Amino acid sequence: MQIDLSGRTALVTGSTQGIGHAIATGLARAGARVVVNGRGEERVAEAVRTVRADSGSDDVTGAVGDLATEQGTAAVLEAVPTVDILVNNLGIFGSAAPLEIDDAEWRRYFEVNVLSAVRLIRACLPGMKERGWGRVLNLASDSAVVIPAEMIHYGMTKTALLAVSRGFAKDAAGTGVTVNSVIAGPTNTGGVEGFVRELVGDELPWDEAQHAFMVKYRPQSLLQRLIEPEEIANMVVYLASPHASATTGGAVRVDGGYVDSILP
């Protein structure tokens, strides 16, 4: 399958590392003009350099802004006035005892993981509808469906993203714009490595620690390993392409079979 996104501008939020960085690289390889986003000038500049090098594309720029705030969102949108492909990847996660999560932490997770996506969709979707083409992709998680006891506040936000995606897909009905969520399973990123170490300790070598984590905390996984960021990116690039024109309002799984269901 040949995917050609030439002439399309893609904004990937939270893309200085991990899954977002892999998605930015994949979209750039497919020919899109890619905008990397993060909160710091230096990290964004470095990410732009690595995406260019890894993708072979020079059509990669950066937009600095904290999308958990209205001011940061405005700064990013000023730098990227036209967006054809919006990938809401930004998110925070961590473990916490359920009864010890206070109101401020619940609000912080909602602001970063949900409202950041909603603000950008509100800003970008009208233009996509007017142009008759667009893609909105919200990065959800297996935790949206299988809520971990140690990550209730995180799982709640990812469940909300499934609803956000379905609702905005209805708003875009018949316009040529698709809106989908991607349910990512446990993925091998720097942030997840720290999370794994937090739960299983620092004594084991990484391969053994990863296995111990999957067996104890994610035993439903049929893959029985962490997913690589590029594997998530492959699905996002496909959903961003013209080939996925009939897929909208969906929750598409790249979860290694973690969610025990024959439906998405």
Largest pairwise CA distance in the chain: 55
Q: Which domain holds residue 173?
A: 9-187+227-254
Backbone angles phi, psi at 136, to 5 degrees: -120, 125
What's residue 52's pLDDT?
A: 98
Number of domains in the chain: 1
**126-150 residue pLDDT tens:** 999 999 999 999 999 999 999 999 9
Task: Tell me the mean pLDDT in the region 96-120.
Answer: 98
CATH number at residue 72: 3.40.50.720
Is 2 within the bounds of a domain? no
CB atoms within 10 A of CB 194: 10
Contact in structure between 92 and 151 (CB atoms under 8 Å) = no
Q: What is the pTM of this model?
A: 0.94
List Cα–Cα distances, 21 to 28, 50, 54, 74, 172, in angstroms.
11, 9, 10, 22, 27
**177-189 residue pLDDT tens:** 999 999 999 999 8
What's residue 89's pLDDT?
A: 98
Task: Tell me the mean pLDDT in the region 242-260.
Answer: 97
CA–CA dist 138, 65 (Å, integer): 18
What's residue 195's pLDDT?
A: 82
Is 193 within the bounds of a domain? no
Is 45 within the bounds of a domain? yes
Residues involved in catalysis: 154
What's residue 224's pLDDT?
A: 85
**64-96 residue pLDDT tens:** 999 999 999 999 999 999 999 999 999 999 989
Angle at 76 between CA 60 and CA 72, to 5 degrees: 140
Is 220 within the bounds of a domain? no
Is 263 within the bounds of a domain? no
Is 124 within the bounds of a domain? yes
